[in-house]
Amino acid sequence: MQRPHGLDVYVYLRKSRKDIEEENRATDEGRIFDTLERHRNQLMELAKKEQHHILDIYEEVVSGEHLLDRPQIQEMLKMVDNGNCDAVMVMDLDRLGRGDMYDMGMIYRAFQYSETLIITPNEVIDPNAEGAELLFGVKSIISREELKSITKRMQRGRQVSAKEGKSITRKPPFGYLRDENLKLYPDPDHAWIVKRIFEMVAEGKGRSAIAKELTKMGIPTPDRAREWNATTLKNILNNEVYRGHIIWGTKRNVKRNGKYVAKPLPPDQWQRKDNAHEPIISQELWEKAHANYGKNYIPPVHTPRKLTNPLAGLIYCNNCNYAMQYKKDSKNVIQMECRSSKCRGVVRGISFRTLEDRVLEIMEKKIQEFKADEKEAKTKQKEPSVVISLHKKSLEAKEKELKTLYNQKENLHDFLEQGIYDIETFMVRQKKLADRIKETESEMKELQGGIIQKEREEKNRTEFIPKIRTVIDAYQTTEDIEKKNQLMKSVLDRVLYTRPKGSKYREFTIEVHFRF
């Protein structure tokens, strides 16, 4: 990934066994070799170059293999776990730990859950990036291989079970129960429903008619939904389990564009066991039903439909977020209703004209509110254009101030390198500067937000408010439904409708979302 700049970082320093051996060898030869100082200088130089703010430096004076032996990393991991920093700077990834997989798991989770980066001179590691886990030790590879092995064993076990005629689905098919040996047997409460479905198809009834009849009779569906539908019936009619056969492995999940999709497999790759259990449907009934299956299907004829609803695609139920339906009631009055099963008996409909009037009323209010705000701004001499100019001047001053602070921060590193400051003095001065930099950046962000807000207000004044006025006037004068719809969609994004069951006439609320 691209190297980041200006982060809040901890610096972690630790000697390896190899470093200790090198230091001992240097001492024997009369040389001075300080590993931690050498690494500290390198990381400080990197922090200077990338303008990172050093919150603290953790130096491990002992070289322990396990986390329990290293108090400094324990302390640092607590801070990381709490999300106190953006990144940890370290010479190499293995400086964080080379203990057992338990230790590596703790380290990895601390960085992953807190979304903390690991910065080294050669790379930047994002623990949440794909493949990052592999960098934290061999165990991740072993775990994946073990998972593959386990998955393969489970697949083989399922194949064997299917060949033996056992039911290995998450739950038994509708109409069946399952014994302790995974064998299916007819469910006395539901098997008759399956048989009746096949009989009705054999009699020539279509799936939609059957679904309506079953729903009207109050017969429970396989998924406990309120209503039967053609898709549910199709799944039952095509399931050979009702003939007494077990079929497994008809599909395989494959990854495409980062998502798993089911890919159908050819029949010769299926695991099949005929006559595995007692059938609910006889072979004769199966063949008769399938002979009639699909005969009643009438292919849809797509003819251009004339738009009748001026607010089509704009009114949504606030309870279920589905589009409201435009229809005439028994008195020939046009109503807007939510037809979702979730809202049946919960959300009450409304006369279209009443709803339309309320939408236009809120659009008018929007214009009046803006005019009132504009008048107040002029009275206080705070017109958007004036405020924008003042904000931009303040922003320029803050940018200069920020540049000066970064120059001062760079000088701190120079003083440290020249020995003018020791590390303690550097950390104190650097913290003060880092706080001032953050404060200045926060003020700049606030100014930028103010500029964006005022620019939006200025755009509203010059573009959107006049546009709303034009839309209202044109909407009320034209009789062209499609034109009305286009006008409304040019200024409205959506309208959320709320009216609980039992509400009195005109007791409803709408939330209008404009396109600005």
Q: What is the pLDDT along the chain (516 residues), one digit of tens a residue?
A: 678 988 999 999 988 767 777 887 888 777 777 888 889 889 988 998 898 988 999 998 776 666 777 889 889 999 998 888 999 999 887 788 765 566 777 888 888 888 899 999 988 888 887 767 766 654 344 434 544 565 566 677 777 888 888 888 888 999 999 998 889 999 999 999 999 999 999 888 888 889 999 988 888 888 877 789 888 998 999 899 999 999 888 887 765 655 667 778 887 778 888 899 999 999 999 988 888 775 555 555 555 678 899 999 999 999 888 999 998 887 888 999 988 888 888 888 899 999 999 999 999 998 888 877 667 656 555 566 677 788 888 888 988 988 888 888 888 888 877 788 888 888 888 888 888 888 888 888 888 888 877 777 676 667 788 889 999 999 999 999 999 999 999 889 899 999 988 787 778 999 999 877
Residue 316 Cα distances to 164, 269, 343, 353, 475, angstroms = 52, 47, 12, 16, 20
Return the residue matching tokens 């200025």: 458
Residue 489 in tokens: 């969609």
Q: What one-character-per-residue DSSP string does 322-358 give?
A: PBPEEEE-TTS-EEEE---GGGTTTB--EEHHHHHHH
User: Residue 250 has what pLDDT?
Assistant: 82
Cite the DSSP H helix spans in 203-259: 207-216, 230-237
Which residues 6+ apart lie within 8 Å of 461 measured at CB? 370, 374, 384
Return the residue matching tokens 């429903």: 193
CB of 86 closer than 8 Å to CB of 9: yes
Which residues 6+ apart lie within 8 Å of 210 measured at CB? 197, 200, 201, 228, 233
User: Residue 155 has what pLDDT?
Assistant: 74
The dihedral through the CA atoms of 60, 61, 62, 63 has a sign that is: positive
Measured CA to CA, the distance from residue 201 to residue 286 in angstroms comes to 10
Residue 215 in tokens: 């729903």
Topology, domain 168-292? Hect, E3 ligase catalytic domain fold (3.90.1750)
Confirm whether pTM is higher than 0.75: no
- The CATH label, of 1.10.730, 3.40.50, 1.10.8, 1.10.287, for the domain at 353-514 is 1.10.287
Q: What one-character-per-residue DSSP string does 283-322 give?
A: HHHHHHHHHHTTTT-------------TTTTTEEETTT-P
The continuous run of DSSP H or E covering 456 comes out as helix 423-459
Comparing C-alpha atoms, which of 209, 289, 292, 277 is closest to residue 243?
Answer: 277
Please give the torsion angle defined by the CA atoms of residues 103, 109, 115 and 120, in that order, rounded to the nearest 10 degrees.
20
pLDDT tens-place string over residues 105-136: 788 888 888 889 999 998 888 888 776 776 66
Beta bridge partners of 57: 11
CATH number of 8-136: 3.40.50.1390
The continuous run of DSSP H or E covering 396 comes out as helix 384-418
Locate the domains of the chain by residue range.
8-136, 168-292, 353-514
Strand runs (DSSP E) across 367-472, as ranges?
none
Measured CA to CA, the distance from residue 92 to residue 355 in angstroms comes to 65
370: number of CA atoms within 13 Å, CB side?
21
Report helix angle 207-216 to 230-237, nearest 10: 110
Measured CA to CA, the distance from residue 86 to residue 61 in angstroms comes to 24
Maximum C-alpha span of the chain: 106
Q: Do domains 8-136 and 168-292 have the same CATH topology?
A: no
CB neighbour burial string for 15-50, b if at least 16 within 10 angstroms, e if fewer = beeebeeebeeeeeeeeeeebbeebbeebbebbbeb
